[in-house]
């Protein structure tokens, strides 16, 4: 078990390192000079060269990489090319907002997916079960920005229950909840529909297992058998799927943050790309990569806790 | 003796199709009844209908009554109509008055729950209802104590430790004992066992059967034992019911049914189970031939002398009968002048001794040497985990040995690149165990059979496929169909046709008849017998079933723990075993009571 944790951690660190190489060098070889982009076409070559030196982009790439990567993990991500302000505080603020939004999205997705998927499975061949399946099928086919616009149209514009955009920090209490409600809902609805399909499949699969029949043969009622033996077994595949969905949600957040004008990683990323703020883009992308890898690592460590069969296997 | 269960006019149907056709039977208290039938006979569905566990889309009609115990006035009126019982009533009966042991021990337990908790669950579920009737001598026995008692009573070593492990940490036999412990936990009036030992090795099967008989005896329960294996049923039952195509065709005390069967199907089943052969031709009796052959000409396979065609196939008449020495040194078994297959000091280990000795090395094969001469039928028997699958993979160059060599027709096949083994793929073919899984469901039979003939034209392929289909006893029209349109036995015939298309010299049969019903098994074995002669094949026949190997092979090698422990002429090995393991294996084969004369 200890060996497995060490091994997983090793793989995690290795992946982060490779990812940092890819993120840095791929973005560095993109055409476009950050100094020229900022000074405009009218600036002289000397002015551009001076800014290059000031930004440090004239040095060899490996040197820039070492500086960037050590900085990234020590909290000094450098100075934004666009705003000339330190990158780290901006990224950390945006990260906090995005994490809250994604957490809200996951919560919404799970609240929708688990009961819906369970009901669709248990009442498989009955009208309501089929209806649940159809609803989730419909949910999958709605892109999340459209869901966002529809939610704004109904709940912000027509009913005026929620603000149509913007953000308030958690310290703001009720105001925070009012601001996060619609974007989290938009993010969670679609992923909830996808997750509901997986839940239904996982529960159906478990219901066909021999040990469920054994549970019935012991004298358990179908519902009890499902709760006591079925759900935990269905969790095993669902946890893996949820972690994959997490990556989807972070990416989905890029669009949703733009729609709802939420100052998260996504909207910052879009702005940084527009400004050719290379160092900002690198830092945000790296942040997202580390986040996704971290969630995968946690799930890898969590699965053996739930499934004893994975403990002995390496 | 009072009546426990009555089934009258029991019908089970799936939609509009009837599967079980109005059967009547009854079980008395303390009676042990065997329900026998081949696949599709409706025996398992009958059993599930008693438990009210028929799957979706299946429904039962007629009447099924679980009678109250008339010996006590309190319970005399506890009659329960099982077909119309509501979920509450049924739940209190399942696992309590009636319980069940299933076929597949590997999947019947919840993999995420400790074994002890799973046993405790069935006690707790029914405890409240039972609390009044707890044994007076131990009124305060905790559930935990009871679990340990139960595990101990099914002879699981170290019950306290076993209760804390998860199912995957136990062997199949141990898991089946746990299932039995769970089933017996509340002293059921009726134990239903659906092929409980079919998935187990013979020696383990023997232990589990003995244990089951003992537990049922002690608890005074009745037993309904469902099986296709007539030998197994002889070990535990007093009375048998024979089912076929959803109907009961014969029933009676086991001695009577097995010695004086009335129905032709029962006779055929008995003959096929015992691998009985026709005296004049030496061929196995099948449902088609059993009645044609005069009764007095039947002889059990055990008495088979040199009538079998295999003995004339040109193999050396007297192969040496050897066993490994006491000091563990193994000779070269079945040594031949110019063998087709020559195996020397073959070892294979998996895993590696890892960092700081954390790794685990499994020695699947530990020094195996033997020869197979041209035209021989060489049988390999052994229980699961003995290394026979590993050996097969090495013989077919699908895996590399750790050391040692395999030579086919005097050419080394170990360590060769696949490209250089084309001749081997052509001259050596395999028939696998699972007739469902080994044929590509998306390919037509003609494509499956002629896939190796990559440079033949369409017409040529079709001609060859039809020729082979005829040889394996299938209609030519089968060529354009898909595998799912055939029964298990027919698919195995297709698999055999596929193996023969390259005109191989060596045919390897890997548990080729293990998944088939006994009557189909006899037909497929006869077919193999004919084809071995017709194609001048050398056959390596791997099986866990000693009776089948004895019938089909001239030479038998017995494997245990990665070695061949004994090898020699089939009859000699089983009649006068030299190694204790062989003796144990031979003794564990369930035997039918009073073989039919």
Quick one: pLDDT at residue A311? 79
Q: Is A176 helix (H, G, I), strand (E, B) or coil?
A: helix
Contacts of A217 in chain B (CB under 8 A): 51, 53, 94-95, 99-100, 102
* Interface confidence (ipTM) of the complex: 0.77
Quick one: pLDDT at residue B304? 41
In this complex, which of A3, A213, A222 lies closest to B102 when CB atoms are compared? Answer: A213
Tell me if A307 and B112 make a contact (CB, 8 A cut-off): yes
Quick one: pLDDT at residue B34? 93
Interface residue A213 vs chain B (CB under 8 A): yes
Mean pLDDT for chain B overall: 84
In this complex, which of A209, A217, A233 lies closest to B94 when CB atoms are compared? Answer: A217
Indicate the pLDDT class of residue B157, thresholds 50, 70 and 90. Answer: confident
Quick one: pLDDT at residue B508? 93
**B290 vs A177, which has greater pLDDT?**
A177
Longest CA–CA separation in chain A, Å:
86
Interface of B with A in 499-528 (CB under 8 A): none
Helix axes A265-274, A278-306, angle to 10 degrees: 150
Search chain B and give the residue with CA nearest A123.
B56
Contacts of A234 in chain B (CB under 8 A): none
Rounded mean pLDDT, B544-557 = 90
Distance in Å, alpha carbon of A195 to nearest chain B alpha carbon: 23
Distance in Å, alpha carbon of B166 to nearest chain A alpha carbon: 7
Search chain B and give the residue with CA nearest A221.
B91
Contact B180/B101 with Cβ under 8 angstroms? yes
Contacts of B87 in chain A (CB under 8 A): 221-222
Interface residue B482 vs chain A (CB under 8 A): no
Quick one: pLDDT at residue B318? 60
Q: In this model, does residue B400 exceed pLDDT 50?
A: yes
Quick one: pLDDT at residue B138? 53
Q: Which residue has the tokens 């299933």?
A: B102
Quick one: pLDDT at residue B228? 86
Rounded mean pLDDT, B388-408 = 90
Quick one: pLDDT at residue B99? 93
Report, at the CATH architecture level, how domain B3-262 is classified.
3-Layer(aba) Sandwich (3.40)
Indicate the pLDDT class of residue B6, thresholds 50, 70 and 90. Answer: very high
Mean pLDDT for chain A overall: 85
Tell me if B111 and A216 make a contact (CB, 8 A cut-off): no
Interface residue A307 vs chain B (CB under 8 A): yes
Task: Please state the domain extents for chain B.
Answer: 3-262, 339-588
Q: In this model, does residue B28 exceed pLDDT 70?
A: yes
Rounded mean pLDDT, B270-299 = 69
**CATH node for A91-313:** 1.10.3720.10
Q: Other CB atoms closer than 10 Å to residue B385's CB: what's the count?
A: 16
In this complex, which of B56, B182, B358 lies closest to A218 when CB atoms are compared? Answer: B182
Rounded mean pLDDT, A226-246 = 89
Indicate the pLDDT class of residue A116, thresholds 50, 70 and 90. Answer: confident
**CATH node for B339-588:** 3.40.50.300
Quick one: pLDDT at residue B293? 56
Distance between CA B391 and CA B382 in Å, rounded?
12
**B449 vs A169, which has greater pLDDT?**
B449
Q: In this model, does residue B132 exceed pLDDT 70?
A: no
Contacts of A302 in chain B (CB under 8 A): none
Quick one: pLDDT at residue B77? 67
Quick one: pLDDT at residue B395? 92
Distance in Å, alpha carbon of A244 to nearest chain B alpha carbon: 23
Indicate the pLDDT class of residue B1, thresholds 50, 70 and 90. Answer: low
Indicate the pLDDT class of residue A154, thresholds 50, 70 and 90. Answer: confident
Distance between CA A103 and CA A188 in Å, rounded?
9
Indicate the pLDDT class of residue B373, thresholds 50, 70 and 90. Answer: very high
Tell me if B126 and A219 make a contact (CB, 8 A cut-off): yes
Quick one: pLDDT at residue B593? 56
Domain with CATH 1.10.3720.10 in chain A: 91-313
Distance between CA A145 and CA B499 in Å, rounded?
58
Q: Where are the beta strands (DSSP E) in B459-574?
A: 506-510, 538-543, 555-560, 563-569
Tell me if A219 and B102 make a contact (CB, 8 A cut-off): no
**Does residue B57 come out as left (phi exceeding 0), alpha (psi in the -120 to 50 range) or beta?**
left
Is there a common fold for B3-262 and B339-588? yes
Task: Say which residues have a Cβ less than 8 Å from residue B550's Cβ, sequence separation at least 6.
Answer: B301, B302, B379, B556, B570, B571, B574
Nearest to A232, CA basis, from B407, B111, B275, B285: B111
In this complex, which of B95, B166, B168 lies closest to A217 when CB atoms are compared? Answer: B95
Tell me if B122 and A211 make a contact (CB, 8 A cut-off): no
pLDDT digits (tens, 9 = 90+) for B46-78: 999 999 888 878 889 999 999 987 777 666 667
pLDDT digits (tens, 9 = 90+) for B162-186: 999 999 888 888 899 999 999 999 9
Nearest to B403, CA basis, from B52, B138, B411, B394: B394
Rounded mean pLDDT, A95-110 = 91
pLDDT digits (tens, 9 = 90+) for B242-253: 999 899 999 999
Q: In this model, does residue B94 exceed pLDDT 80?
A: yes
Quick one: pLDDT at residue B31? 93
Mutate to test the interface with A, among B87, B93, B98, B111 (most CBs of A within 10 A): B111
Tell me if A309 and B166 make a contact (CB, 8 A cut-off): yes
Tell me if A219 and B95 make a contact (CB, 8 A cut-off): yes
- Which of A73-77, B132-136, B316-320 has the weakest average pLDDT? B132-136
Interface residue A310 vs chain B (CB under 8 A): no
Stated as kind and residue range, the H or E segment containing B27 is strand B17-28
Interface residue A126 vs chain B (CB under 8 A): no
Distance in Å, alpha carbon of A234 to nearest chain B alpha carbon: 11
Distance between CA B159 and CA B114 in Å, rounded?
12
- Which of A63-67, B170-174, B357-361, B473-477 has the weakest average pLDDT? B357-361
Interface of A with B in 216-235 (CB under 8 A): 216-222, 228-229, 232-233
Distance between CA A108 and CA A91 in Å, rounded?
25
Tell me if A218 and B122 make a contact (CB, 8 A cut-off): yes
Tell me if A211 and B95 make a contact (CB, 8 A cut-off): no
Nearest to A105, CA basis, from A230, A233, A236, A262: A262
Contacts of A218 in chain B (CB under 8 A): 94-95, 99, 121-122, 125, 182
Distance in Å, alpha carbon of B155 to nearest chain A alpha carbon: 21
Contact B569/B322 with Cβ under 8 angstroms? no
- Which of B315-319, B450-454, B501-505 has the weakest average pLDDT? B315-319
Distance between CA B39 and CA B20 in Å, rounded?
13
Burial class (CB in 10 A: 0-12, 13-18, 19+), B121: buried
Contacts of B166 in chain A (CB under 8 A): 308-309
Distance between CA B154 and CA B206 in Å, rounded?
13
Tell me if B111 and A307 make a contact (CB, 8 A cut-off): yes
Q: What is the DSSP letter of A227?
A: I
Q: In this model, does residue A314 exceed pLDDT 70?
A: no
Quick one: pLDDT at residue B307? 40
Give the percent of chain A with pLDDT over 70: 98
Mutate to test the interface with A, among B88, B103, B108, B178 (most CBs of A within 10 A): B108
For B239, half-sphere exposure in the C-beta direction (CA atoms, 13 angstrom radius) is: 17
Q: In this model, does residue B140 exceed pLDDT 70?
A: no
Q: Other CB atoms closer than 10 Å to residue B25's CB: what's the count?
A: 18
Distance in Å, alpha carbon of B327 to nearest chain A alpha carbon: 35
């Amino acid at each position: 078990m200890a060996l497995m944790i060490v091994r997983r951690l090793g793989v995690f660190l290795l992946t982060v390192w490779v990812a940092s190489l890819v993120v840095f060098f791929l973005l560095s070889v993109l055409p476009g000079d950050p100094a020229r982009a900022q000074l405009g076409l009218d600036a002289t070559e000397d002015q551009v060269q001076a800014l290059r030196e000031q930004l440090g982009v004239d040095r060899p790439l490996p040197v820039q990489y070492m500086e960037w990567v050590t900085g990234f993990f020590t909290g000094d991500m450098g100075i934004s090319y666009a705003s000339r302000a330190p990158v780290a505080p901006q990224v950390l603020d945006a990260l906090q907002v995005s994490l809250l939004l994604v957490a809200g999205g996951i919560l919404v997705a799970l609240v929708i997916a688990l009961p819906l998927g369970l009901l669709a499975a248990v009442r498989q061949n009955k009208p309501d079960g089929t209806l649940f399946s159809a609803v989730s099928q419909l949910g999958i086919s709605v892109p999340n920005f459209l869901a966002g616009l529809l939610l704004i149209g109904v709940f912000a514009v027509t009913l005026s229950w929620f603000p149509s955009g913007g953000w308030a920090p958690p310290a703001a209490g009720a105001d925070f909840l009012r601001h996060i409600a619609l974007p989290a809902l938009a993010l969670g609805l679609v992923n909830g529909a996808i997750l509901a399909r997986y839940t239904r499949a996982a529960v159906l699969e478990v219901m066909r297992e021999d040990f469920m029949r054994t549970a019935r043969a012991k004298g358990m009622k179908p519902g009890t058998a499902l709760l006591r033996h079925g759900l935990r077994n269905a969790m095993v595949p669902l946890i893996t799927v949820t972690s994959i969905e997490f990556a989807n949600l972070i990416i989905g957040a890029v669009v949703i943050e733009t729609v709802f004008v939420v100052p998260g990683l996504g909207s910052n990323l879009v702005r940084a790309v527009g400004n050719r703020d290379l160092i900002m883009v690198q830092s945000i992308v790296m942040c997202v990569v580390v986040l996704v890898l971290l969630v995968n690592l946690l799930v890898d460590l969590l699965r053996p806790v739930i499934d004893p069969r994975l403990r002995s296997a390496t | 003796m009072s009546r426990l269960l009555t089934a009258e006019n029991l019908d089970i149907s799936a939609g509009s199709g009837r599967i079980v056709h109005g059967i009547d039977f009854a079980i008395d208290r303390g009676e042990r009844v065997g329900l026998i039938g081949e696949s599709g006979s409706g025996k398992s569905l009958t059993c599930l209908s008693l438990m009210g566990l028929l799957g979706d889309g299946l429904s039962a009609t007629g009447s099924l009554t679980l009678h109250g115990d008339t010996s006590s006035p309190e319970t005399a009126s506890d009659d329960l109509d099982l077909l119309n019982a509501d979920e509450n009533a049924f739940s209190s009966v399942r696992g309590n008055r009636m319980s069940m042991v299933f076929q597949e021990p590997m999947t019947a337990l919840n993999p995420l729950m400790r074994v002890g908790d799973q046993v405790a669950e069935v006690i707790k579920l029914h405890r409240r209802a039972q609390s009044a009737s707890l044994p007076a001598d131990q009124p305060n026995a905790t559930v935990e104590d009871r679990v340990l008692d139960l595990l101990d009573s099914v002879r699981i070593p170290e019950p306290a430790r076993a209760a804390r492990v998860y199912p995957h940490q136990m062997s199949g036999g141990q898991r089946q004992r746990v299932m039995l412990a769970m089933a017996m936990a509340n002293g059921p009036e009726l134990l239903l066992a659906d092929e409980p030992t079919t998935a187990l090795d013979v020696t383990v099967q023997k232990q589990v059967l003995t244990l089951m008989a003992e537990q049922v005896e002690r608890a005074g329960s009745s037993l309904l034992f469902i099986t296709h294996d007539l030998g197994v049923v002889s070990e535990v039952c007093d009375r048998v019911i024979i089912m076929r195509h959803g109907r009961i065709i014969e029933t009676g005390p086991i001695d009577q049914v097995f010695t004086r069967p009335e129905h032709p199907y029962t006779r055929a089943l008995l003959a096929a189970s015992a691998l009985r052969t026709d005296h004049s031709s030496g061929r196995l009796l099948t449902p088609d031939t059993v009645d044609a052959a005069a009764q007095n000409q039947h002889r059990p396979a055990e008495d088979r002398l040199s009538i079998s065609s295999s003995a004339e196939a040109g193999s050396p008449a007297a192969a040496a009968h050897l066993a490994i020495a006491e000091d563990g040194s193994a000779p070269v078994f079945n040594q031949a002048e110019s063998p087709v297959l020559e195996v020397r000091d073959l070892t294979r280990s998996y895993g590696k001794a890892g960092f700081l000795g954390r790794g685990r090395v499994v020695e699947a094969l530990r020094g195996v040497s033997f020869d197979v001469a041209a035209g021989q039928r060489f049988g390999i028997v052994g229980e699961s985990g003995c290394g026979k699958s590993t050996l097969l993979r090495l013989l077919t160059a699908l895996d590399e040995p750790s050391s040692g060599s395999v030579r086919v027709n005097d050419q080394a096949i170990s360590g060769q690149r696949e490209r250089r083994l084309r001749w081997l793929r052509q001259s050596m073919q395999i028939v696998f165990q699972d007739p469902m899984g080994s044929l590509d469901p998306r390919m037509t039979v003609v494509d499956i059979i002629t896939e190796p003939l990559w440079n033949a034209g369409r017409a040529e392929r079709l001609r060859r496929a039809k020729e082979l289909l005829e040889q394996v006893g299938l209609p030519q029209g089968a060529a354009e169909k898909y595998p799912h349109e055939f029964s298990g036995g027919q698919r195995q015939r297709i698999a055999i046709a596929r193996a023969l298309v390259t005109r191989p010299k060596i045919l390897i049969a890997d548990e080729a008849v293990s998944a088939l019903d006994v009557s189909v098994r006899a037909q497929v074995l006869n077919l193999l017998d004919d084809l071995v002669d017709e194609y001048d094949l050398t056959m390596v026949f791997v099986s866990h079933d000693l009776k089948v190997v004895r019938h089909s092979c001239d030479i038998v090698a017995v494997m245990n723990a990665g070695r061949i422990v004994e090898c020699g002429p089939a009859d000699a090995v089983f009649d006068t075993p030299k190694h204790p393991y062989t003796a144990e294996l031979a003794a564990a084969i369930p035997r039918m009571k009073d073989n039919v004369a």
